[in-house]
Chains A and B, each alone.
Chain A
Amino acid sequence: MMGALVMIGVVVASVLVMASGVWVASALIAAIWRVDRTSPPSVSKTSDESRR
């Protein structure tokens, strides 16, 4: 029983790590494909200031 629970935990952790990789990969693809079309905004304000 304990063995099965530990195994499930390990498999879930592996899947979560891989999912993190996929999430970052999608942001990476978006960033490198968009880079030629849009230049990054010159943001120096904090979000707190932006809200004001």
Chain B
Amino acid sequence: MKERSGTPDRAIEDPDWFGNKAVHVALSVALVIAYVVVLTFVAIRARAAREYSEFSLAKRALPLALIFGSLCATYVGPAFSIGFVGKGFQSGFLFLIIGLAYGLQNILVGVLIAPRLRALEGCHTLGDAVGHRYESRTCQVLAGIISVGLCAGFATVMVSAGGLVIRDVFALPLWASVALIAAVTALYTTSGGLRASVVTDAFQFTAFTLLLPLILLVALAFHLKGGGTAFFWHAVEATRQGVGSMTPMELVGLLTSFLLGETLIPPYANRALASRTTESSRNSFVLGGLFSVIWFLVMVSLGIVARGLIPDDTKGDHVLLNLVKLILPAEGYALLMVVSLSVIMSSLDSLLNAGAVAFTQDIVRPLRRFSDREALSTGRVATAGIAACAAVAAAGAVKFPSIIDGLLLCYAVWAPAILPALGFGLWLKKPRPPAGIASMVAGALVAVTFQFLWPQASRTTAILPALGASLGAYLIGHLLGGRRG
């Protein structure tokens, strides 16, 4: 554990300080090691995948509770936990209202898209579904390239966040910290595929859904002065500040990002495809959407409680950490590290598996015929490859201002590049390949170009012009294109 400020003075005043400190450090390290041991046990029990269908879709035998837990564990990354606590601290319930768009998106996907996706026979990925509906290999390969790129981008953000946590706990250099988090996650995902990812996600989901609300209840019961009335007025004041600090255009951009940005990204699509039945596919997304609402309420409430307890100028990403340091004993810090690792690894393993399956199924398979064994090997190598690329990028090759900025960049590309092509592809009776290709190319190009031309605005609004370009290109492609491309 890192030394905190004021250590030498306290050591001089209290002769037992070093003894107590050693006990706290030992307990904290023991807590982190115990978590890693239990996680390893769960990953081993998930067993190695023996067939490609087990690696990619866990043989479509996953029950509702595990799909639900894994789905929620995947979307609750650092942004939806640590980031939302910071937003609650700065802008009260504003981000709860914005978060409702995310819940609505999950429910709409559950009702409208997930069952249709699950009903497609023999599809392993979103690219597979796009290729199947458009009857076009070009569409599948294009969707595959976008999927792999997005998974690698998201994985870089997650490895970067995980590396910072590891560095903080064990005081390792950044390169070693990112290598450690990428290697441990890649190890069990490479071996067990989707089943290992889902089972470990369920364990990690259990860890953070028990620990974070517990921290909130402790803060409310023992530390908040003034009770419910004080909490209410902190919330009102913060929400008023939050609404005042945002332009209507930024608000629309944020709502659009939360509504569409993460819609059916490859790990979610894999879970929709891997569920046991169409009903469990639909129900897992609907329950996931409802869960996001109560989860966001708990996270922003942690931020609001912190307003009465920690300094007003605390940075958003440090609010949860400072709150935990204040209200829990020293082991609470280690507890928070465990929670953070759970949150990060559960998202990272899903991204690695989804990227590897998209690479195998959508990029390599359409170009080359190979056996089940070769597909399994390719998937495993791709998992390790994406993890390695993410680790190299996170160690310093790629710079992004913050975790949320990195995620928003990925959102701004994903929604315009894939959603119109996927949505129309699933709903139109005879979707036309040129429309799908034009939509994916235009959406991706406009989103990426916008990031470089107007990077400050692009954090929230790049998604809007890119989505417009994608929809326009789809319409033109549909009107001009023939049935086959």
Contacts and interface: CB of A to CB of B under 8 A. Distances in A.
Interface string A14-33: 11111011111111100110
Contact of A17 (B63, B203, B213): B213
B297 A13 contact: yes
Nearest to B203: A28
Contacts of A28: 42, 66, 69, 199, 202-203, 206
A19 B62 CA distance: 20
B60 interface: yes
Interface stretch (B105-113, B163-171, B214-222): B214-222
A28 B210 CA distance: 15
Given A10-B297, A14-B298, A44-B60, A35 B69 contact: no
Interface string B207-235: 01110111011001000000111111101
Contact of A4 (B66, B119, B228): B228
A32 to B, nearest CB: 4
Contact of A7 (B118, B195, B227): B227
Given A18-B209, A18-B213, A32-B42, A9 B66 contact: no
B301 interface: yes
Nearest to B51: A42
Contacts of B72: 20
A9 B228 CA distance: 11
B203 A11 contact: no
A35 B196 CA distance: 12
B199 A3 contact: no
Nearest to A19: B209
B68 A6 contact: no
A46 B213 contact: no
Contact of B231 (A7, A18, A31, A47): A7
A47 B68 CA distance: 18
Interface in B280-320: 291, 294-295, 297-298, 301
A15 to B, nearest CB: 7
A51 to B, nearest CB: 10
Contacts of B277: 46-47, 50
B65 interface: yes
**Nearest 10 A/B pairs, CB to CB:** A21-B209, A27-B65, A3-B228, A47-B277, A24-B69, A40-B61, A14-B213, A7-B228, A3-B232, A3-B229
Interface of B: 42, 45-47, 53-54, 58-61, 63, 65-66, 68-69, 72, 118-119, 121-122, 195, 199, 202-203, 205-206, 208-210, 212-214, 216-217, 220, 227-233, 235, 276-279, 291, 294-295, 297-298, 301
27 contacts: A3-B230, A4-B228, A6-B228, A6-B232, A7-B231, A7-B232, A9-B297, A10-B220, A16-B294, A17-B213, A20-B68, A20-B209, A21-B208, A21-B210, A28-B69, A28-B199, A31-B199, A31-B202, A32-B45, A35-B45, A40-B58, A43-B59, A43-B276, A44-B60, A46-B118, A48-B119, A50-B277
